[in-house]
Amino acid sequence: MLNISQSTTGTANGKIILMGEHSVVYGEPAIAIPFPATHIQVTITAVEGPVQLDCVYYQGNLASAPTHLENLMAVVESTMSELKQELKDFKLTIKSTIPVERGMGSSAAVAIAMVRALFAYFSTPLPDNQLLALANVSETIAHGNPSGLDAAMTSGRHPLYYIKGKPFVPFHLSLSAYLIVADTGLKGQTRDAVASIAQLNRENQDKTMNAIHQLGDLAKQAKLAIESNLPVLLGSVMDTAHETLSFLGVSNETLNHLVRTARLNGALGAKLTGGGRGGCMIALAADKDTAARISAALSDAGAVNTWTHPLGDDKVE
Ligand code: PMV
């Protein structure tokens, strides 16, 4: 007998790359942080019949969902087969404040929240390694060859220091500062931007690799600045990273305009985040009032959305 009042939820948060985008592809370190100011919730409710999906893109039978949701379907199917359950008699409702295609990890976050909700629905314990493996089913469809960083960040609560091919290193984030994230309103173009740096590297390897190594050094300095609670140092490191990323051709006028606006309004530093050529930028503020001023100025300058997040409350257990 079906219990129609049965309902469970799974959640996940957005992520932000603080430092090291692009250079991480060449073996340099990157720093990413969970960004709980944006989050996603998947709710599962008992409904008799074929599995239903309710999200902003589609409402109806999961089996007839549009092809751009195939990663979502794949994660549901893999999870159900792992749970040894039949794919029927429930409805999936997705509510998200993580903008899509802005480098904030929305595809990984929806997969994480989905797996969590399904395991909870079938009252099955979910170890972290199983959660990440199932989320990577979806990430492989969405991104081809995912590093696993997005799945780790959107499921976790701690900043990670990451070098390609090595284990993620969680570290303590305790910085007396605020992070402001602004959405340009333009889709990020990670694939094109990564390809354009590869092309630059073929044309002028010395120049390109110098910039890549510099970004790696800046990521190391950023980690030091964070661990020693030196927001002014972190800000200047972010500024330099933005100039280097621009030199590599992965910024654009919209990002540069928002970065300049943040600096003019008192930011300790500002840079693009993620793949670039759209997506989001980040700025660092010393206090709440400055963060509010920067956030308002970024909106006036054309940002379609901004979020502010204190950086001083993380505790690595
Ligand atoms: O835009 P995002 O969050 O997918 O980040 C891309 C990060 C890059 O370093 C540019 C690419 C990569 O695969 O690491």
Per-residue pLDDT tens, the chain, 317 aa: give them.
444 448 999 999 999 999 999 999 999 999 999 999 999 999 999 999 999 999 999 999 999 999 989 989 999 999 999 999 999 999 999 999 999 989 999 999 999 999 999 999 999 999 999 999 999 888 888 777 777 889 999 999 889 999 988 999 998 888 999 999 999 999 988 889 999 999 999 999 999 999 999 999 999 999 999 999 999 999 999 999 999 999 999 999 999 999 999 999 999 999 999 999 999 999 999 999 999 999 999 999 999 999 999 998 644 33
> Are the C-beta atoms of 79 and 134 separated by less than 8 Å?
yes
* Cα(154) to centroid(ligand 1), Å: 14
Atom of ligand 1 nearest to the CA of 194: 10
**Candidate from 15, 18, 19, 21 with most ligand 1 atoms within 8 A of CB, to mutate:** 21
Residue nearest to atom 3 of ligand 1 (CA): 103
* Cα(100) to centroid(ligand 1), Å: 14
Cβ neighbours of 258 (radius 10 Å) = 26
Atom of ligand 1 nearest to the CA of 102: 1
* Cα(203) to centroid(ligand 1), Å: 22
Give which of 282, 271, 284 is closest to 239, Cα–Cα: 271
**Residue 143: its pLDDT value, please?**
72
Q: How far apart are CA 251 and CA 154, in angstroms?
A: 25
Q: How far apart are CA 15 and CA 150, in angstroms?
A: 7
Cβ neighbours of 205 (radius 10 Å) = 10
Name, in order, each residue with C-beta under 8 angstroms of 289's C-beta and a sequence gap of 6 or more. none
> Are the C-beta atoms of 221 and 237 separated by less than 8 Å?
yes
Residue nearest to atom 5 of ligand 1 (CA): 274
Atom of ligand 1 nearest to the CA of 30: 9
Residue nearest to atom 13 of ligand 1 (CA): 25
**Candidate from 24, 162, 218 with most ligand 1 atoms within 8 A of CB, to mutate:** 24
* Cα(151) to centroid(ligand 1), Å: 13
Radius of gyration (Cα) for the chain, nearest Å? 20
Q: How far apart are CA 115 and CA 260, in angstroms?
A: 40
**Residue 316: its pLDDT value, please?**
39
* Cα(22) to centroid(ligand 1), Å: 6
Structure tokens at 87: 């794919």
> Are the C-beta atoms of 55 and 114 separated by less than 8 Å?
no
**Residue 240: its pLDDT value, please?**
98
Q: How far apart are CA 272 and CA 275, in angstroms?
A: 8
Give which of 300, 303, 271, 268 is closest to 287, Cα–Cα: 268
What's the gap between Cα 303 and its chain centre? 18
Query: Which residue's structure tokens are 């100025």?
Result: 297
**Residue 146: its pLDDT value, please?**
75
Residues in the ligand 1 pocket, defined by CB under 6 Å: 17, 21-22, 24-25, 103, 147, 188, 190, 194, 274-275, 279
Distances, alpha carbon 229 to alpha carbons 37, 66, 88, 317, in Å: 22, 47, 51, 18
**Residue 30: its pLDDT value, please?**
96
**Residue 53: its pLDDT value, please?**
97
Name, in order, each residue with C-beta under 8 angstroms of 168's C-beta and a sequence gap of 6 or more. 148, 149, 152, 160, 161, 162
Q: How far apart are CA 136 and CA 147, in angstroms?
A: 9
Atom of ligand 1 nearest to the CA of 105: 3
**Residue 88: its pLDDT value, please?**
95
Atom of ligand 1 nearest to the CA of 188: 1
**Candidate from 33, 136, 150, 190 with most ligand 1 atoms within 8 A of CB, to mutate:** 190
